[in-house]
Amino acid sequence: MQLMKVFGLMSVMTALFVLAGNYIGGSSFAILFFVIALVMNVGAFWFSDRAVLKMYKAQIIGPEDAPELYAMVDRLRQRAELPMPTVAIAPQQQPNAFATGRNPEKAVVCVTIGLMNSVNARELEGVIAHELAHIKHRHMLVGTLAAVMAGAITMVGSILRWGFLLGGGRRNDGNPIVMLAMAILAPIGALIIQMAISRQNEFQADATAVQISGDKEGLQSALRRIQEAATRVPMAVNPAAAHMAIINPFSGGRSMPFAKLFSTHPPTEDRIEAIAKVELDPA
């Protein structure tokens, strides 16, 4: 169900792009900018593991460096039927974690020092299972596709605005008010859809994590602990990598309802409630 919602949102975003492209001076011009956005985002996706590790200043570890953590990842990835990911530790004191990599064979699971020092084994299992769920569902790929479409729509919107300011383009028969409205609203709509996809991915990863670990309370407790820490312990990381963390490291507490539309993560309490409703597969 969650996957169908994601693909539905992607379809809406694609429709927004096509609609906006109809107001450009020729479809080939719109396609050109879509290709530029595609190349930029696919390039970022292809090298995402190294780039994100660098953003978090994380170090790759082996079984001799953190044997309990490594063994936990190995045990849970076998339950998830995944290849062994690269394991890394970031030096940040804020408890948090993320997964990255272009596919399960090139995946990375990273936890912060703060997480290892502040959660118990049961909570850590829930967090690791959540990150493995992102890998299992290829959420990095879904996020990249969403970013490609959102970036392309933003480019189209920018072209439309310039065309309006310069007196219109090739499509002189177009309604300038419609063109201006499209230029302003299409990128906003694309961003809202991109954030909605990100939030759906978090819900799906939470639900799958429960199936991998066989435990609801560990992940619920970890989410509460990490959310509380995010409001008081700063995270020194590039904001571009914030959406990858299990809890947005820059979340400063409750936000206004309208602001949720532009949030990369669902409210933590909503996630905890959704986890409670997950039905565990019979052993």
Active site members:
131
Nearest CA-CA partner of 110 in 101, 102, 98, 125: 98
Distance CA 266, CA 163 (A): 37
Distance CA 196, CA 129 (A): 22
DSSP letter for 25, please.
Answer: S
What are the tokens at 190? Answer: 């694309």
String of DSSP letters for 205-267 = HHHHHHHHHT-SHHHHHHHHHHHHHHTTS---S-GGGGGGBSS-TT--S---GGGGGG-SS--
Token look-up 């900018």 returns 33
Nearest to 189 by CA among 15, 2, 7, 4: 15
Taken in order 223, 248, 274, 87, is the CA torsion positive or negative? negative
Nearest Cα neighbor of 119 from 101, 135, 96 is: 96
The residues pairing with 100 across neighbouring beta strands, listed in sequence order, are 108
Q: Which residue is listed with tokens 């990273």?
A: 110
